[in-house]
Amino acid sequence: MYNAFVAAAFGIAMMFLAGCSEAPPLPLSVGVSPWIGNDPFVFAYERRYVDRSRVKVVELASSSQALRTLDNGLLDAAALTLDEALRLADKGAAIRIVAVLAMSHGADAIVARSPITRPAQLKGKRIGIEDGSAGRLVLARMMETSPLRSNDVLLLRLEASQQEDALRDGWVDAIVTFEPMKSRLQGDGYQVIFDSSAMPGEIIDVLVVRADVLERRLEDIVDLLAGWQRGVTALHTTPEAFADLLAPSTSLTPAQYRAALDGLTFVTLEQSTELLSGQPAPLAARHTGLAKLMVDLEMIDGPPDWRTLIVDTAARAAMKRTESGP
C-alpha cells in the first residue's frame, strides 16, 4: 500500500514538473526569397542537412517581404543582398552579417518586351522594380551606361511575384529582375538589355541575423551555415540531383536551371570567413564604393558601422564543423 502511494505521488510530481517546464524553443526561422542564389539553403532543408527541430527555412514571395518580416521581428535571420542589409542597418535595426553566400555576375538583369533591345529605347517607357531591392543598383548602373536620365522612365513599384505577369500583360515595358524569372522570360523571347555581369562584385548575397538571436542561438546558426556548405557542395558534386530537386519549383527544366546557375558564384564557408575576418574586414574594404553609391542614391543616410555589422564567429565555427565531418 505504502509503495503504491509513493509511486502515485511520484507520478503526480513528475506530471507537475513536466507541466511547469519550459517549452522547447521554436526552430530558428530563416527567410529566403525566390532568388536562385538561396537554393543551397532550400536544398539543405529538403535533404535534412540541417536539424529541422532547430532550424526552419521559410520560403517567402520576395526579398521585400524578407526585409519586412526580419525588421518586424517575425524572422530570426534572412538571406539578403548586401545593399538590403545596409538599408536595414541604416534604419537602426540591430542586425549582424554572419556569412557571405553568393555573388551575381549575370543573374540579375533588366528584361524588356519587343522591340526594345537596348537601354536607350526605354526612354518614355515603364519599368517595373521591386521597392527597396537590389534592382535599384542594377537600374542605376544601367543608366550610367546609357543616355537615359532618371526622369526619362516611369518606375512602377512591383513585388517580385507581380513583375513577370506585369511584363507579359503589357503593364510595363521592362522589369528589373533576377533568376529564375530572367531565364523563364528569355525562354519566351523577352530580351535581356542589361545584367549584373556589367557590375562585378556589387550584387552580393549575405546571411543577416538579428543581434539578439546571434547571442542566444549561435549553435543553431552554425548548424544552418554547415547545412549551407553541404548544399553548395552538393550543387558542385551532384549538379543533376540538385537541379532535379529544385528546377520544378522554378518552372525551368533541369538543363535550364543549371544554365541559370552560371550567372552566380556560390561562396564557401572558408571564403566567407576570409571576407568577414579582420579590421577592416575585406567585405567592408571592397564595398565602401557600394555604400557611397547608396548614399548618393539616397538609399541610406550615411556609411555603415562595418565593425559592428560584420561578425565572423558563426562562419568560422561552421567551417570547423564541416572540416571535421558531419
96: its cell numbers: 549582424
Listed in order, strand segments (DSSP E) in 116-263 are 126-129, 154-157, 174-178, 191-195, 204-210
| β 126-129/174-178 pair status | parallel
Claim: this prediction has a pTM higher than 0.85: yes
Could you tell me if 302 and 221 lie in one domain? yes
* pLDDT at 5 (0 to 100): 36
Is residue 275 within 8 A of residue 268, CB to CB? The reply is no
Assign residue 82 the CATH number of its domain. 3.40.190.10
Is residue 275 within 8 A of residue 283, CB to CB? The reply is yes
* pLDDT at 4 (0 to 100): 42
Q: How far apart are CA 24 and CA 21, in angstroms?
A: 9
Whole-number Cα distances in Å, 302 to 138, 164, 276, 292: 20, 34, 21, 8
Could you tell me if 99 and 117 lie in one domain? no
Which domain does 147 fall in, by range?
108-198
What residue ranges of the chain have pLDDT lower than 70?
1-23, 132-133, 324-326
* pLDDT at 219 (0 to 100): 96
Tally of domains within the chain: 2
Neighbours of 64 (CB within 10 A): 20
Neighbours of 179 (CB within 10 A): 26
Where a domain ends, among 139, 167, 198? 198
239 found inside a domain: yes
140 found inside a domain: yes
94 found inside a domain: yes
Q: How far apart are CA 187 and CA 193, in angstroms?
A: 15
67 found inside a domain: yes
Where a domain ends, among 198, 231, 263? 198
Look-up of cell digits 512602377? 156
Could you tell me if 163 and 249 lie in one domain? no
* pLDDT at 325 (0 to 100): 61
303: its cell numbers: 556609411
Where a domain ends, among 198, 225, 249? 198
Q: Cβ contacts of residue 170 below 8 Å, gap of 6+?
A: 113
Beta-bridged to residue 80, according to DSSP, are 206
Could you tell me if 38 and 91 lie in one domain? yes
* pLDDT at 150 (0 to 100): 84
Could you tell me if 315 and 225 lie in one domain? yes
Look at the alpha carbons of 270, 276, 280, 285 in this order and tell me if their dihedral is positive or negative: positive
| β 126-129/191-195 pair status | unpaired
